[in-house]
Amino acid sequence: MKALCWEGVNKLSVEQVDDPVMRNEQDVIVRLIAGTTCGSDLHLIGGYIPFMRAGDVIGHEFLGEVVEVGAGVRRHKVGDRVVVCSFVGCGRCWYCANDLWSLCDNTNTNPGIGQALFGADTGGIFGYSHAMGGLRGSHAEYVRVPFADYGAFSVPEGVDDTSALFVSDSVPTGWMGADLAGVKPGDVVAVWGCGAVGQMAARAAILLGAERVFSIDRIPERLEMTERHIGSEVIDYTSTDVGAELRERTGGRGPDVCIEAVGMEAHSDSPVHLYDQVKQQLRLQTDRPTAVRQAIHACRKAGTVFVLGVFAGAVDKFPLGAVINKGLTVRGAQQHGQRYIPMLLDRLAAGEISTTHLATHTVPLDEAPRAYEMFKEKEDGCVRAVIRPGH
């Protein structure tokens, strides 16, 4: 079958690889209907996430049709249209039992790397380096889905493929940020980043009752899209001092909740950006935490900062003094999708959440390398490129 393979830093190609095979009775095999590019994939492509090998299939946000079912699968049958959570959970360990699915103890098939990097292994994720399990990714004609009873979800009739696709990762990740940050009615929330995850975090904050939500970015079409489709107020950080702007719009206090949805390749107009970029490229630090620093400084005293962006390791100039002296709560997580996906599919069917506007481009699998280039450079207003093998 065809698959999109990582062949080296900034090198992607569509190659012929072996078809996936059933490995245990809890697997299903899915024929890909649609997958999408994700900002976190750019960290793999750029070489900022270690433990990639030439020939690795990338991709983790996808929707497909079940074509083969293991003997132990109870909730799916051949022909089901399913959206699959990007993180794999076994459904049995302590973390899965406590709805902390991305921390699953049993689905990372390369235990040890996470222990060295983070002090403990995370769960496995499709197509996201051998540190995260080495599972084959979803930008392929067929995908093996382990523990399918827990990670694959039937899509309701009436919900189209493109809408459901983003419930694999972007929508639950954004929702989790607002939920675990404790957004409540009357709050003022600021979200850094107007990509798909940032937009979904802003929408979640609105649906959870936030009084005002501000979305921060620099790309005009993303700001316009967020204002029009999500309903949040927007701030272009290239034309204003974000901290001062947020204080002015919140009576001098600052947002109650600040959500960072940018990650390790954050951009800024300040000299600190150059400092971060040089240190990252020299491998003297792994991440550029520009938006995290800004969120910590902007947040009101005793507020909460939630980090949704993907970070690999250590950062420099982390404002620990602000965290302590302002009494902030700082949290972060990879998505616990299984916790939210059924509820989010219902909200999608009810029209409370809209995702189709995110799919600004659609390409066949053969053109996936070009799609990632367009996505990375934000050409032609690209927010997400949807990859359809049969397109």
User: Model confidence over 122-131: pLDDT tens digits?
Assistant: 999 999 999 9
Count CB neighbours of 9 within 10 A: 11
In this prediction, residue 276 carries a pLDDT of 75
In this prediction, residue 391 carries a pLDDT of 66
Average pLDDT for residues 286-299, to the nearest whole number? 89
Given a cut of 80, is residue 24 above it in pLDDT?
yes
In this prediction, residue 382 carries a pLDDT of 94
In this prediction, residue 285 carries a pLDDT of 67
Q: How high is the mean pLDDT of the chain?
A: 94
In this prediction, residue 289 carries a pLDDT of 84
In this prediction, residue 259 carries a pLDDT of 98
Contact 216, 193 (CB under 8 A): yes
Average pLDDT for residues 58-86, to the nearest whole number? 98
Question: Using one digit for the tens of pLDDT, what is the confidence trace for 201-233?
Answer: 999 999 999 999 999 999 999 999 999 999 999
Structure tokens at 121: 């292994």
* CA–CA distances in Å: residue 250 to residues 22, 215, 239, 255, 284: 55, 14, 19, 7, 37
In this prediction, residue 280 carries a pLDDT of 74
Cα dihedral 377, 382, 387, 391 sign: negative
CA distance 167 to 345: 7
263 band by pLDDT with thresholds 50, 70 and 90: confident
Count CB neighbours of 350 within 10 A: 8
Given a cut of 70, is residue 60 above it in pLDDT?
yes
Give the helix ranges, DSSP H, for 31-112: 39-45, 94-97
Residue 365 is classified by DSSP as G
pLDDT > 70: percent of the chain: 98
